[in-house]
Structure 1
């Protein structure tokens, strides 16, 4: 019996070592068609990387391609039209190039799960009936995927329940105006996302996104057409009681061209405080953070200008 146990332990160690070796080569991938076998890998990836690509999701490639075309046309609108895209919370509407991020601009809406919010977004930008249809289809599909991934994250930790069902999903379409003089510079500053998780449809042709691994080195996230990238944010680190990694990332200018991406952010509870489920708190894993709402944390990051996860240290427990 002891021989079999030792052999099984060696096999587990070899499998873990192989997984660690594989993950150093590129961003990990999660096959959504291969659950429940992927639960253990998903948990490890969230603990070690805080980001992964999802394969075999149910969003049609044709819809992704058409949405990218719509996004490019909206971001090419005259400035006076883009400015109609007003904030609901700070940063949820149009973001013009700024001294801090001079190469970047974006359009957005606060909660893409709200049909009224999607309607208002389209009206602000004079979207055509065809563009509206594409945006509505994409919003529904990406929200369903967001709920699916959020549920799988909980299940990977052995939890059952709808932890993120009513949380708002902020939507943002991004444009980077890279010129020859910008090559080698930063398109967007180093940061973590403040919310729970982000689904990114990145540019299928232009790289530049980089994520920080556990050693503190930045790893390039190369284009992978048809896939979607998932990043975990500060709220995920707090909700998981420090088990999940809130991935630090940046965008670098690799070539003189326009780079376009589509991001959806699952933020956190609208009013309730974020705190770990009881199953994730015990003598070996004492509570790391005091309960706080997403809105409180968002304002904390804005006032302190701590954008790379450092604000979490300000909400840690005293023990």
Structure 2
């Protein structure tokens, strides 16, 4: 595809581009991106998530954020931050990120959870269908990407259990104004889960990811593509092989910014380094934990940028 080749050859493009339909040829590139940067741009996935569905979902997102506040407040938390976050609220997310507003579903892999979300917000039948289809498509992408990562690492496929992992869903609105230019929309952090799939704003930038030197790379908008981030659970699961990318959102211009984020959280039971990745030369770096216990530890310690992983080192226990 000419556009893909152009982006891959662009000296200014520092985010690796992975073509989903070109495996196993992309395996080494996937591993390099996942181990060195912890994120990549995904293209050629529209057999699972059509561009039309992505466009329809963007329209639904804009509609939902325009709803009256009393309706949006029906979207209550299941875990902290999984429901409605208002810029002026007492939720830890809004206290640190006052320009940020969000709505969400705890587990988008659950039809019941997605249906409840639609009911809370009085979604119309066509909107409900769009949200359902989008959730199903992104869940399928999580499984495909996760299995390709496991295979590239040499982890046995039957050990993953990806299909049963919960997937949080969050739609985001950033209230950028002339007075907020130069400030942060979201503080520096890593994602606590395993994988994140982000459908970014097609026009308004602001997302930045940190490279291995500690420098931030600006992620330019690229319509009809997805950005995939690896989080803390991936680092634990891979015994430190996979990089949990630090990132932030910065206000570059006075425009409202929208994004659609989905998070493959991790196993419902304990997560620990995979046995294939532990040996005499690669000792186990982390003790077993559950996603929920780890999430609570991050919140209680206020270590939101991957530092909490050090607390799971065997010598710390």
Distance in 2, matches of 1:310 and 1:105, equals 25
123, 129, 133: which one aligns with 1:133: 129
1:75 aligns with 65
Alignment of 1:101-180 (within 5 A): 101-162=97-158, 163=160, 164-180=162-178
Tell me how far 1:22 sits from its aligned partner. 7.9
What CA deviation, in whole Å up to 9, does each residue of 1:42-64 have, x standing for no partner? 11110001000111003111100
32, 42, 46: which one aligns with 1:44: 32
Distance in 2, matches of 1:310 and 1:167, equals 24
Alignment of 1:1-319 (within 5 A): 25-57=13-45, 58=47, 59-97=49-87, 98-162=94-158, 163=160, 164-270=162-268, 272-318=269-315
Distance in 1, matches of 2:274 and 2:96, equals 37
Question: Please, which runs of 5 or more residues in structure 1 have no aligned partner?
Answer: 1-20
Distance in 1, matches of 2:25 and 2:12, equals 21
Distance in 2, matches of 1:52 and 1:24, equals 15
Instruction: Classify the secondary structure of the residue corresponding to 1:238.
Output: helix
Instruction: Classify the secondary structure of the residue corresponding to 1:303.
Output: helix
Instruction: Classify the secondary structure of the residue corresponding to 1:165.
Output: helix
Distance in 1, matches of 2:182 and 2:226, equals 25
Instruction: Tell me the number of residue pairs that the alignment of Structure 1 and Structure 2 aligns.
Output: 299
Tell me how far 1:23 sits from its aligned partner. 8.4
Provide the TM-score with structure 2 as the length reference. 0.92
Provide the TM-score with structure 1 as the length reference. 0.91
Distance in 2, matches of 1:156 and 1:22, equals 26
Larger radius of gyration: 1
Tell me how far 1:160 sits from its aligned partner. 2.5
Distance in 2, matches of 1:84 and 1:310, equals 34
1:269/1:151 Cα in 2 relative to 1: closer, same or farther (>3 Å)?
same
Instruction: Classify the secondary structure of the residue corresponding to 2:22.
Output: coil
1:177/1:196 Cα in 2 relative to 1: closer, same or farther (>3 Å)?
same
